[in-house]
Amino acid sequence: MISFTVRIKFRAADRKVIEEALRELTAASRQEPGCVSYIPHVLEDDADTVLIYEQYVDQEAREAHGASEHFQKYAVGCLYQRMLERHVENLKALA
């Protein structure tokens, strides 16, 4: 199992377009056969920071997600174009 978080900082002015892109990206990502979990969050104390929790069955599924049409459209074509900062944290399950 592959688990990680992606933390992305945006401008307040981009909030609506980011939320719409995340709705579309989430709906499509959850339909991927290798996607176990895809949950975007907004930080309670910082509405301009998004944290996405993702799980995939294996590395191949993670790579397929990154190569998907919806990822290219909504993540690369929208989110990446507007982000101020991006950090990925790879996770290792304890139990």
In this predicted model, what pLDDT tens digit does every residue of 31-89 receive, in sequence order?
Answer: 999 999 999 999 999 999 999 999 999 999 999 999 999 999 999 999 999 999 999 99
pTM here is: 0.94
- Tell me how far CA of residue 47 lies from CA of 16, 40, 94, 95, in angstroms: 11, 12, 30, 31
The pLDDT of residue 49 is 98
CB 62 within 8 A of CB 6: no
Range of the domain at 49: 2-91
The pLDDT of residue 39 is 98
Number of domains making up the chain: 1
Give the CATH number, domain containing residue 29: 3.30.70.100
Measured torsion, CA atoms of residues 14, 16, 19, 24, in degrees rounded to the nearest 10: -110
